[in-house]
């Protein structure tokens, strides 16, 4: 599981940073790609990256502001032009269905794959044997949501010493035990999976927030997350401006991470007044004074999400 940032700027693109889009790579977990927001130029950023539209399985939109959705019609059209047939699920706030259908219809764009557009107002949006995705409302000028992606726990590894003591050698029976099944050794002897499986591997939790001021939804979505992506449009000296425009400061993002007990905080959605990575260092320093394990998201930055021990 890895995060790949395609755009980290707020409002408009600059020469250094594109507007918001984040990819969650699940190549080992389900051989697919999930996209969170799709600002203008996102498909161009993908062309410069190792990501492939043929792997794109789901798109999650946080809110309907242009710097988060203007790249979507072009990306959907290009995905079809590349001959991709994999169905695509799109989740977003009310209005996303009308936006997509109107722009594709007016532009006569051809989409040769099945596309399901699901508008929501929060709650559990998706769940299968491996993942659960939940959304909650944030505090922004437009109806904005954050997403909590929970990977379900995986079975622990087989205890090879115990298996050897039972006289079992590697083979099909190992697979049955790994799947949680019991094995008949004959003569009334059985091995149950619980006898030979080590501690389950805890699933990872990733929280990706849309634009927001500090609010209860931030903490509920972020609680105990392995990785939190939080907007940091301004520094603390512009707290009043941040509040007026329904945004957060780097300090407020760090305070949220500290309260929620997350493992790693990534700051993103930076105002254009902070022109390059050098000008962003004060934001990083401000946040690290409160939450040490804070990092700056960078365009084309790839960040593995490690399991907690």
- The pLDDT score that the predictor gives to residue 215 is 97
Tell me which residue has tokens 């927030």: 209
Structure-block tokens of residue 237 = 């000296």
Tens of pLDDT along 205-247?
A: 999 999 999 999 999 999 999 999 999 999 999 999 999 999 9
Task: Enter the pTM of the model.
Answer: 0.89
Tell me which residue has tokens 């599981």: 1
Helix and strand element counts for the chain (H, E): 12, 16
Instruction: Reply yes or no on whether 184 is catalytic.
Output: no
Of the candidates 67, 128, 139, 299, the residue annotated as catalytic is 67
What mean pLDDT do residues 4-33 have?
A: 95
Structure-block tokens of residue 178 = 């790994």
Residue 172 sits in the same domain as residue 285 = no
Ligand-binding annotation for 140, yes or no, is: yes
Question: Which distant-in-sequence residues (6+ apart) come within 8 Å of 48 by Cβ?
Answer: 300
Alpha-carbon distance of 141 to 47, in angstroms, equals: 32
Compute the mean pLDDT over every residue in the chain, rounded to the nearest whole number.
Answer: 93
Residue 25 sits in the same domain as residue 141 = yes
Ligand-binding annotation for 120, yes or no, is: no
Ligand-binding annotation for 63, yes or no, is: yes
Domain interval for residue 186: 160-196
CATH number of the domain enclosing 10:
3.60.15.10
- The pLDDT score that the predictor gives to residue 309 is 64
Residue 133 sits in the same domain as residue 189 = no
What mean pLDDT do residues 34-45 have?
A: 98
Ligand-binding annotation for 37, yes or no, is: no
Residue 240 sits in the same domain as residue 189 = no
Residue 229 sits in the same domain as residue 188 = no
Structure-block tokens of residue 208 = 């990706």
Alpha-carbon distance of 305 to 114, in angstroms, equals: 30
Phi, psi dihedrals of residue 164, rounded to the nearest 5°: -65, -35
Total structural domains within the chain? 2
Largest Cα span, the chain: 76
Residue 142 sits in the same domain as residue 126 = yes
CB contact burial 52-81 (16+ within 10 A = b; e otherwise): ebebbebbbbbbbbebbbbbbbbbbbbbbe
Residue 172 sits in the same domain as residue 239 = no
Residue 68 sits in the same domain as residue 184 = no
Structure-block tokens of residue 171 = 């083979």
Residue 9 sits in the same domain as residue 101 = yes
Within-domain flag for 20:
yes
For the cut 80, the answer to whether the pLDDT of residue 37 exceeds it is: yes
């Amino acid at each position: 599981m890895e995060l790949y940032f395609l755009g980290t700027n707020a409002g408009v693109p600059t020469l250094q940073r594109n507007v918001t889009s984040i990819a969650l790579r699940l190549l080992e977990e389900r051989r697919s790609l999930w996209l969170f927001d799709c600002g203008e130029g996102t498909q161009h950023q993908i062309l410069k990256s190792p990501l492939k539209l043929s792997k794109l399985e789901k798109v999650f939109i946080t809110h309907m502001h242009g710097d988060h959705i203007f790249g979507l019609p072009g990306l959907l059209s290009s995905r079809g032009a590349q001959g991709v047939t994999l169905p695509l699920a799109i989740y977003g706030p009310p209005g996303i269905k009308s936006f997509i259908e109107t722009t594709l219809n007016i532009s006569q764009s051809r989409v040769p794959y099945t596309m399901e557009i699901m508008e929501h107002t929060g709650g559990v949006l998706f769940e299968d044997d491996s993942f659960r995705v939940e959304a909650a409302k944030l505090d922004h000028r437009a109806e904005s949501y954050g997403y909590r992606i929970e990977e379900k726990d995986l079975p622990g590894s087989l205890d090879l010493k115990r298996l050897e003591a039972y006289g079992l050698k590697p083979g099909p029976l190992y697979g049955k035990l790994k799947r949680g099944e019991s094995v008949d050794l004959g003569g009334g002897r059985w091995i149950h999976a619980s006898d030979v499986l080590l501690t389950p591997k805890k699933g990872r939790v990733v929280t990706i927030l849309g634009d927001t001021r500090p609010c209860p939804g931030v903490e509920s979505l972020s609680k105990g997350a392995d990785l939190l992506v939080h907007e940091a449009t301004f520094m603390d000296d512009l707290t009043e401006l941040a509040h007026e425009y329904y945004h957060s400061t780097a300090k407020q993002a760090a305070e949220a991470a500290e309260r929620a007990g997350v493992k790693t905080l990534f700051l993103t959605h930076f105002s254009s007044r902070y022109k390059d990575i050098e000008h962003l260092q004060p934001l990083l320093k401000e946040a690290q004074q409160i939450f040490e394990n804070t990092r700056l998201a960078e365009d084309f930055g790839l960040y593995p999400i490690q399991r907690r021990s």
